[in-house]
A and B are shown apart, each in its own frame.
Chain A
């Protein structure tokens, strides 16, 4: 068990480009969460998967954002037509069905120029 992993760790892109991030949760964790963290703030919830089903999305998740978790294992978060305001740390967390605690990955730091 190597913990939650995220890829890439850093991404620099130009405004208007699309980006995709990947999260690999702890094996056998069926709950997966995406959060976004800006400088000086705590993480903010974006979306939640239980197995392959996306059960909740925050109002922060505009229609430019889409997340998937095919087969209930890894997850991807795609941002289309990036804007400078999308610059942030994108964090993935996972937990098992009988746990209330979440374990975070190292995050993907996005910079939109």
Chain B
């Protein structure tokens, strides 16, 4: 079993829809939680960062962390075709060099 599980999709939604992306994890020691966006053949781009449990909002993006359930989410409001990409969740621990453990990524397609 992988440490971080993520539904690979693809997830196809119409423009303007609210998108919900999720990851589950098995290691309760993770402290830092991130979402990256990756366009085809490009490097991952940091979208959101959350420390421990709670919510964080940045524009159209909201990240949620529920450590008790080992579950993290990314919500995208008013989705745009330019949001079409692969979304990667990642997490790390201070006592493990902060190295990132990634999910496999969810492909998102926003249809005009």
Contacts and interface: CB of A to CB of B under 8 A. Distances in A.
Nearest to A6: B43
Given A42-B90, A42-B105, A102 B43 contact: no
A107 B99 contact: no
A106 B43 contact: yes
A28 interface: no
A45 B100 contact: yes
A62 interface: no
B105 A41 contact: yes
B11 interface: no
A91 interface: yes
Nearest to B4: A42
A91 to B, nearest CB: 6
A100 interface: yes
A56 B99 contact: yes
Given A45-B99, A109-B41, 20 more contacts: A6-B43, A31-B98, A40-B8, A41-B104, A42-B90, A45-B100, A93-B100, A95-B98, A100-B49, A100-B51, A100-B92, A101-B34, A101-B49, A102-B98, A102-B100, A104-B36, A104-B43, A104-B44, A104-B45, A106-B42
